[in-house]
Structure 1
Amino acid sequence: MISPAARDALQGWLDAQKALKGAAANTLAAYSSDVNDFLAFMTMHKGEPQGLAPLARISVGDMRSWMAFTRSRDVGPRSLARKLSAVKSFYRWLSEREGFEPTAVLAARSPKFQRKLPRPLSPDAAQDMINTLEMQSETPWVAARDQAVVTLLYGCGLRISEALSLTGADLPLCDSLRITGKGGKERIVPVIAPARDAVAHYVHLCPFPIEAGTPLFLGVRGGKLNPRAIQKVVEQTRLQLGLPASATPHAMRHSFATHLLNAGGDLRAIQELLGHASLSTTQAYTAVDTARLMEVYNRSHPHGQR
């Protein structure tokens, strides 16, 4: 049982994350679950609901107990690191509001884990994926729809959620699109001719009206397309082509970034196109080595230009 004061504090922090940092709904849900689990454990661990005063007295030993308990529930290092990050963020906010020292919580060390670098497809494999997609459906407009979505992922570097959030108001596609990404951040992405053509072909064949207020990509019954449909058709195509399990819709976005970089694209420009807040995230996307990252740093940072 979480105390009303702790529940109110959690909600206040979530509201702040949304208002000040533009955190997305999925992110807020994960934050809420992670911190709620932490507060519930402390209630059980201490034997009584934890109000704000007891929460301010959390010790290093309490943190170790929570982390050990969380690991005992088959939570992997990556997930535990995410949970700890949420708890630390909550405590930074709470300590500033309530005026206590959060060192015991902030000093907890995040577990080490091996980052899984994304595996982009080769240029030929990416093109084969797009060309073969239309063979997965016997319904011409569905085949055209699937091909249009994946062409946007690869040709513009969109997330699947971003592609499926497009509406009839975005038609006809121009040379660029204004995309609202994670955290409500807006960016402008160029739209290559093959992507414009693929979308126009789908719209021409679609049996349902696509209007300004309706989704651009529709399911077989005329409602908004479920991302699972695209994941499934990409999986079928992957199996047909003999591509590895890492060949997912998101891998098309990785491939967009890597192929741009290999063609001489600037890492910071690619960061903007992908909508990444951190250059290190773009580095992981493109599997670029540290030497190339330092080359970009030295070209762009005032210190490196001396």
Structure 2
Amino acid sequence: MYKSSFLEYLQIEKNASPLTVEHYAHDIDEFFVFLQTEQLSIEQCEYSDIRIFLSGLYDRGLSRRSVSRKVSSIRSLYRFLEREEKVKQNPFSFVSLPKAAHPIPEFFYEEELQELFTVSDLEDPLGQRNQAILELLYGTGIRVSECTNVELRDLDFSLSTLLVHGKGNKERYVPFGAFASQALKHYIEDGRGKLLQKGKGNTDRLLLNAKGGPLTARGIRLILNKLVDKTAITADISPHKLRHSFATHLLNAGADLRSVQELLGHSQLSSTQIYTHVSKDRLRNVYMDSHPRANK
């Protein structure tokens, strides 16, 4: 009962995305299993019990990031129950966790990406679509969820800009270049219409699957894996890795952090600063080439 009320609160009052609600539900289910094992009710749970719960998470080898997310989910549940006067205190309010370390984002080198853009069959509707996906993800840095939601009306070829519907219903405009423009036009004028004919009805979504329906995020991940298998690239690929590559290459070429922040749709500059770690080589080269006392 508590779980369903809380998830409904997240959906209606907090306007949380389906994926966020799913994560909360998974974390809460895990906590309820612990309570059942310990023969505790959610009202009886105390801080000493929480320490046992956390020890179990760490014993399973979970990262600090994963543990922090679970604590945040269950803490939010208790706050909701406090507000609804179902519990008297929130035992998770006493829990203090170290901040999760931010791993340096993985990215492709420009030479690796060059090969990736040559493997799609541009005479085939699916090949045209796949090329459009690559150009969109790498050429704009948008998230895979944003990519699947792109509609035809969001593209402005006269200004070479894309209207992106981001997290929290926030919108932003991002530019795209000549290669993306060419790939998108080719797909829209040829392949997309052929794919659309296989579907049961019209859709305004830009990216379609083989049956003519809207392409999903999972579908895009599978497509990228198939494309990278056709290359000599040994590294794993993901939509987010292309996003990391977009940001890294911009910074390495001299783009300022604030501009990259706006392009990525980050609300906080700290989210963008993780990319400064991977541009240190460029900074060193700039220093060595520019400072009068760097070289003899």
Task: Please indicate the TM-score interval, normalised by the length of the shorter structure.
Answer: 0.7 to 0.9
Matched residues in 2 for 1:126 and 1:238: separation?
A: 10
How much is the aligned-residue C-alpha RMSD, in angstroms? 3.1
Higher relative helix content: 1
Alignment partner of 1:165 is 2:166: no
* 2:6 counterpart (13, 19, 27): 13
Matched residues in 1 for 2:214 and 2:135: separation?
A: 18
**Are the equivalent residues in 1 in contact too, given 2:195–2:210 (CA < 8 A)?**
no
Aligned residue identity for 2:116: M
User: Which stretch of the first structure deviates more once superposed, 20-29 or 114-123?
Assistant: 114-123
User: Which stretch of the first structure deviates more once superposed, 265-274 or 212-221?
Assistant: 212-221
What is the CA-CA distance between 1:75 and the residue it aligns to?
4.5
User: For residues 126 and 138 of structure 1, do their structure 2 counterparts lie closer, same or farther at Cα, with a shift above 3 Å needed?
Assistant: closer
* 2:233 counterpart (236, 240, 243): 243
Alignment partner of 1:273 is 2:266: no
1:1-306 equivalences in 2 (<5 Å)? 4=1, 7=2, 10-47=3-40, 50=41, 55=43, 57-71=44-58, 75-98=62-85, 100-102=88-90, 104-110=91-97, 114-130=101-117, 132-134=118-120, 137=121, 140-170=124-154, 173=157, 174-206=159-191, 207-209=194-196, 213-285=203-275, 287=277
Match of 1:46, SS state, is coil
User: For residues 124 and 20 of structure 1, do their structure 2 counterparts lie closer, same or farther at Cα, with a shift above 3 Å needed?
Assistant: farther
Q: Which runs of 5+ in 1 are unaligned?
A: 291-306
What is the CA-CA distance between 1:145 and the residue it aligns to?
0.8
Aligned residue identity for 1:106: S
Aligned residue identity for 2:119: L
Aligned residue identity for 1:89: S
Deviation per CA, 1:53-106: give whole Å up to 9, x if none: x62x5322110122233445565543222211111222233334438443x312
What is the CA-CA distance between 1:171 and the residue it aligns to?
5.2
User: For residues 286 and 195 of structure 1, do their structure 2 counterparts lie closer, same or farther at Cα, with a shift above 3 Å needed?
Assistant: farther
Matched residues in 2 for 1:278 and 1:193: separation?
A: 30
Q: TM-score, normalised by structure 1?
A: 0.76
**Count of paired positions:** 274
Q: Which runs of 5+ in 2 are unaligned?
A: 281-296
**Are the equivalent residues in 2 in contact too, given 1:78–1:113 (CA < 8 A)?**
yes
Identical residues among aligned pairs (%): 33
Matched residues in 1 for 2:202 and 2:139: separation?
A: 23
